[in-house]
């Protein structure tokens, strides 16, 4: 396994935390609209085919995974140990299992078996192992993004194989973030983070306006927020509809 470069200090990157929080909040708004639609509290929307919603989802996942790549660049720069990496990875993988279980209770016919957390758990390992490839991550990311549009086969349409991304049709699941093309986005996040830390470090380390400090704080607890926001929203809407 490649060794990360030397780094002296381990500061907080408030701008990165705030950017991650922006992605999380956008996602929460999207999910709230989905929940309102599920409880029939708004005019019926098609979140699976309407471009207004599908493009939003694509942008949210892109921003979220790009931030994950940036975060890995920071961790690499700060010489994060494999022990610490695996501790965080176990948290993410464990949360992915909980998402699968929770979604199965609510959507047994389309539960989440390879959503954003499942994808991140796999991609983090690959991104960490390839961090030393540096500038080569740019063309590799492009290949990863283009490849599933060029290579598709029905053999990959099963739940055991569609996590790769080489599918001919989108599987029936509430959240689907396959390895390809999304690994390319995280690779680009890692490559961009490495370039910024070497050439424009102040883009990440610069001070935030005071009004944005709460956003940075939220970004540091993104996994916890991700795990609780849907149960809270669904619980509140359940109570509202029961009392209405």
- Structure confidence at residue 44 (pLDDT): 93
Q: What is the pLDDT of residues 223-232, one digit of tens each?
A: 999 999 999 9
- Structure confidence at residue 6 (pLDDT): 45
- Structure confidence at residue 12 (pLDDT): 77
Q: What is the pLDDT of residues 169-189, one digit of tens each?
A: 999 999 999 999 999 999 999
- The answer for residues whose C-beta is within 8 angstroms of residue 29's C-beta and 6 or more apart is none
Q: Could you give the 3-state DSSP secondary structure of residue 109?
A: coil
- Structure confidence at residue 202 (pLDDT): 87
Q: Could you give the 3-state DSSP secondary structure of residue 12?
A: coil
Grade residue 8 by pLDDT with cuts at 50, 70 and 90. very low
Q: Where are the domains of the chain?
A: 81-202
- Write down the number of H helices and E strands in the chain: 9, 0
Rounded to an integer, the average pLDDT of 79-105 is 95
d(CA 164, CA 177): 9
Grade residue 106 by pLDDT with cuts at 50, 70 and 90. confident
- Structure confidence at residue 3 (pLDDT): 53
Q: What is the pLDDT of residues 39-59, one digit of tens each?
A: 999 999 999 999 999 999 999
- Name the average pLDDT for the chain: 93
| Burial degree of 178 (CB within 10 A; 0-12, 13-18, 19+) | buried
DSSP state letters, 135-180? GGHHHHHHHHHHHHHH---GGGGSTTTGGGS--SS--S-S-B--HH
Q: What is the pLDDT of residues 203-239, one digit of tens each?
A: 988 889 999 999 999 999 999 999 999 999 999 999 9
């Amino acid at each position: 396994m490649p060794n990360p470069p030397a780094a002296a200090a381990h500061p907080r990157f408030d701008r990165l935390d705030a950017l991650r929080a922006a992605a999380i909040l956008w996602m929460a708004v999207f999910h709230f609209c989905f929940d309102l639609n599920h409880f029939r509290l708004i005019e019926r929307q098609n979140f699976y085919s309407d471009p207004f919603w599908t493009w939003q989802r694509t942008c949210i996942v892109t921003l979220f995974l790009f931030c994950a790549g940036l975060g890995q660049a920071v961790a690499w720069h700060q010489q994060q140990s494999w022990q610490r990496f695996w501790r965080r990875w176990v948290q993410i993988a464990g949360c992915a299992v909980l998402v699968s279980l929770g979604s199965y209770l609510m959507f047994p016919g389309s539960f989440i078996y390879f959503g954003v957390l499942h994808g991140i758990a796999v991609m983090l390992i690959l991104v960490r192992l390839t961090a030393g490839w540096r500038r080569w991550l740019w063309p590799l990311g492009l290949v990863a993004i283009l490849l599933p549009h060029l290579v598709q086969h029905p053999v990959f349409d099963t739940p055991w194989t569609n996590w790769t991304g080489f599918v001919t049709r989108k599987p029936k699941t509430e959240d689907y973030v396959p390895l390809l093309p999304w690994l390319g986005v995280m690779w680009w996040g890692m490559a961009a983070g490495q370039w910024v830390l070497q050439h424009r470090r102040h883009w990440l380390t610069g001070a935030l306006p005071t009004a944005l400090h709460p956003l940075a704080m939220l970004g540091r607890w993104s996994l916890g927020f991700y795990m609780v926001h849907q149960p809270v929203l669904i619980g509140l809407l359940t109570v509202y509809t029961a009392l209405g």
